């Protein structure tokens, strides 16, 4: 996906997150992150934005800690988030393409890594803010009738890019906990865009290919925006169509959470 389109998505989703958080109120529970209220959601995402902006803006080559949130509470916390989000968008937009800085996953370039990662970080947490605003209704982690229709629209190309990042980058690394003693194959199929991923599971890190070749033990299927939200644990897996061995879908659900 083009980096300019990812920055546009980052800009939009950050604004939507702030709007939803302000309307929901800082004390409102976040159904998609049961341990959080909106306050923690805003604080976390705002800190991540400032963290990424500093790494890119200062061309840091070593990791740093997340900055502290302001002591104030209420509207000023949402404004603190807005300021950090604007700074991140500006920093990523004006950074030199040949920037060299620290990253935590392989990518074509450090700048493309940070643009992509922050776009999807913000999109997923925007969904969290909208789930809080919705009050945990049809768009949150409830019944099998759930779908992404309750959230602001997610562009199909953007959603496919986020599925790709999750399956190939996050779960292609040694830290992935999605492992099986016996080799298994999970297929992920977008029923609207035609994108298909085949995830080969073993006692090592999963290996994902953009292919529909070969048999699969389990297949998860649905609109690509629903795949995006379900695989990022913002919709229940039973919001998707599933065929084959249901235990493999449960294994994914239980072990695929990204910390």
Question: Which sequence spans correspond to the domains of the chain?
Answer: 3-139, 158-255
* Distance from C-alpha of 230 to C-alpha of 225, rounded to nearest angstrom: 9
At 225, is the pLDDT very low, low, confident or very high (cuts 50, 70, 90)?
very high
| 3-139 CATH pick, 1.10.12, 1.20.120, 1.10.3470, 1.10.287 | 1.20.120
Half-sphere exposure of 209 (CA within 13 A, CB side): 8
In this structure, are residues 239 and 220 in contact, taking their beta carbons and an 8 Å threshold?
no
At 79, is the pLDDT very low, low, confident or very high (cuts 50, 70, 90)?
very high
**73-93 mean pLDDT:** 96
Q: Which residues contact 217 (CB under 8 A, 6 or more apart)?
A: 184, 185, 186, 244, 245, 248
Domain 158-255: CATH superfamily is SCP2 sterol-binding domain (3.30.1050.10)
Q: What is the pLDDT of residues 122-178, one digit of tens each?
A: 999 999 999 999 874 434 333 334 466 679 999 999 999 999 999 999 999 999 999
């Amino acid at each position: 996906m083009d980096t300019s389109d990812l920055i546009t998505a980052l800009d939009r989703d950050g604004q939507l997150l702030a709007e939803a958080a302000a309307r929901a109120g800082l004390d409102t529970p976040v159904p998609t992150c049961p341990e959080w209220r909106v306050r923690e959601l805003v604080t976390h995402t705002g800190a991540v934005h400032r963290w990424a902006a500093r790494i890119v803006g200062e061309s840091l080559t070593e990791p740093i800690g997340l900055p502290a949130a302001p002591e104030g509470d209420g509207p000023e916390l949402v404004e603190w988030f807005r300021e950090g989000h604007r700074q991140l968008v500006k920093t990523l937009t004006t950074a030199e393409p040949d920037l060299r800085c620290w990253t935590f996953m392989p990518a074509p370039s450090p700048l493309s890594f940070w643009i992509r990662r922050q776009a999807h970080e913000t999109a997923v947490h925007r969904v969290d803010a909208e789930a809080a605003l919705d009050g945990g209704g049809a768009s949150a982690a409830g019944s099998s009738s759930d779908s992404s229709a309750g959230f602001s629209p997610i562009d199909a190309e953007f959603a496919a890019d986020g599925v790709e990042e999750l399956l190939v980058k996050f779960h292609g690394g040694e830290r992935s906990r999605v492992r099986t003693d016996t080799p298994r194959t999970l297929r992920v199929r977008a029923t609207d865009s035609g994108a298909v991923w085949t995830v080969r599971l073993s006692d090592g890190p999963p290996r994902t290919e953009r292919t529909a070749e070969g048999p699969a033990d389990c297949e998860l299927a649905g609109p690509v925006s629903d795949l995006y939200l379900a695989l990022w644990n913002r919709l229940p897996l039973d919001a998707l169509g599933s065929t084959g061995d249901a235990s493999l879908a449960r294994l994914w659900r239980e072990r695929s959470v990204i910390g």
